[in-house]
Amino acid sequence: MPLLRVHLATDRATARRVLLLHQGGRAHHESREAAREQVWRQGRTPAGDPVFVGVTNGRRDLYLLYDVEVYTDTTP
């Protein structure tokens, strides 16, 4: 199944918190749900849980990166 990369705008404090949680083997539930909602808004159906990939290294705009496995669009 294909992966969809989701970029969620965030601030430095939240990015740091999400990264520390991930490094500790835990998940930031709010951002995972936001990634799932973003997939739905793009008209795709999530096939699994969002997987945290990292944080962009932007000076102005920071984004949390998630990969979400999605179902392929099939038409009979």
1-42 residue pLDDT tens: 899 999 999 999 999 999 999 999 999 999 999 999 999 999
Of residues 41, 49, 47, the one with CA closest to residue 72: 47
In this prediction, residue 37 carries a pLDDT of 97
In this prediction, residue 74 carries a pLDDT of 55
pTM beyond 0.75: the answer is: yes
Query: What are the sequence ranges of the domains in the chain?
Result: 3-69
Summarize the confidence of residues 56-65 as an average pLDDT: 89
User: Rounded to an integer, what distance in angstroms lies between the CA atom of residue 63 and that of residue 56?
Assistant: 5
Summarize the confidence of residues 39-67 as an average pLDDT: 93
**pLDDT above 80 for 57:** yes
Instruction: Give yes or no for a contact between 72 and 14, defined as CB atoms under 8 angstroms apart.
Output: no
